[in-house]
Amino acid sequence: MDGSGQINGQGSPWWRQAGNSDYINATNTNCNRPTALHFYNCNGLQLSGLNHLNSPRNHISISGCNGVTISNLHISAPQDSPNTDGIDISFSSHVNIHDCVIGTGDDCVALDNGSSIINITGVACGPGHGISVGSLGENGSHETVEEVLVQGCSFNGTENGARIKTWPGGSGYARHITFENITLIDVQNPIIIDQHYCNGEDHCRNDQGSAIKVSDVTYRLVQGSSASKKAIDLDCSKRVACTNIVMDQINITSAVPGAQIFASCNNAYGTSSSTTPNVPCLSKSPYIDSNLVAVNVTN
């Protein structure tokens, strides 16, 4: 599918009725908010050149596909439009996404269960919730994501930057994931691993009997500004700690001149080098679970 045409999902009436729910009730009949484009069980899929606006829910979903190239797309929806992910990937492998501009009310790109060998290059994200691995493990499910490279991407005014999110109580893994050559502009959570993701459901925030195993995650050559004091947040499960987390050549400063920023870790283990803010809480020792470090940043 190649062309310069426009797909307008006319999502506004759906957003108003649904709020944050996937469902609306019209004349007492429950209706799903639709995904505008859903590609299922495709081999050698190529998608380029489209301008895609205002989907009622996800703009593009790729499921059960192999050998996918997505390039030069413009995807946009208002910042407050609910669940309007740009591109969602699941049960798919050998997916290349490059040179896209995505600004929506949710994840610019989301890598869900069964995603493997994914290369995301040159994506400009904002507004939105960043480029996310997950969410994984909802309702105790076994889910996996592996072999992901996100490189040369930028985040402007987003809620998150490089993000991994898993629900308590799930099982499986998210592993062999690299974020490198990343540019941040006024990002609320520049680097975040959230293993207590509950999508607003407070009752599930405590650690449960199992968790997704997060391991072999590298952040390299990440630079830019944080809109919050907590620039790096590695909040891992007490049940299954995050391991082999590598921070290398990170330079994040506050978007507010003179403000302090810090890194926070819980049950995260690995190494850091040439990193601002400093991340000594990322420890090799299994006996040191958390720490906070603040640095004073001046313009």
**Domain ranges across the chain:** 6-296
Residue 189's H or E segment, with its range, is: strand 189-194
CA 82 distance to own-chain centroid = 16
Q: What six digits make up the tokens of 276?
A: 């601002």
pLDDT of residue 32: 81
DSSP 167-185: -TT-EEEEEEEEEEEEEEE
Query: Per the residue annotation, which of 129, 142, 176, 196 is the catalytic one?
Result: 129
Fold of 6-296: Pectate Lyase C-like (2.160.20)
Q: Indicate the pLDDT class of residue 17, thresholds 50, 70 and 90.
A: confident
Q: Give the pLDDT confidence of 111-124 residue by residue, as tens digits.
A: 999 999 999 999 99
Listed residue (47, 55, 48) closest to 14, CA to CA: 55
pLDDT of residue 71: 98
Give yes or no: 98 in active site.
Answer: no
Q: Give the pLDDT confidence of 64-121 residue by residue, as tens digits.
A: 999 999 999 999 999 999 999 999 999 999 999 999 999 999 999 999 999 999 999 9
**What's the pTM value of the predicted model, to 2 decimals?**
0.91
CA 86 – CA 106 distance, rounded (Å): 8
Contacting residues for 133 by C-beta, under 8 A, at least 6 apart: 111, 115, 145, 148, 163, 164, 165, 174, 177
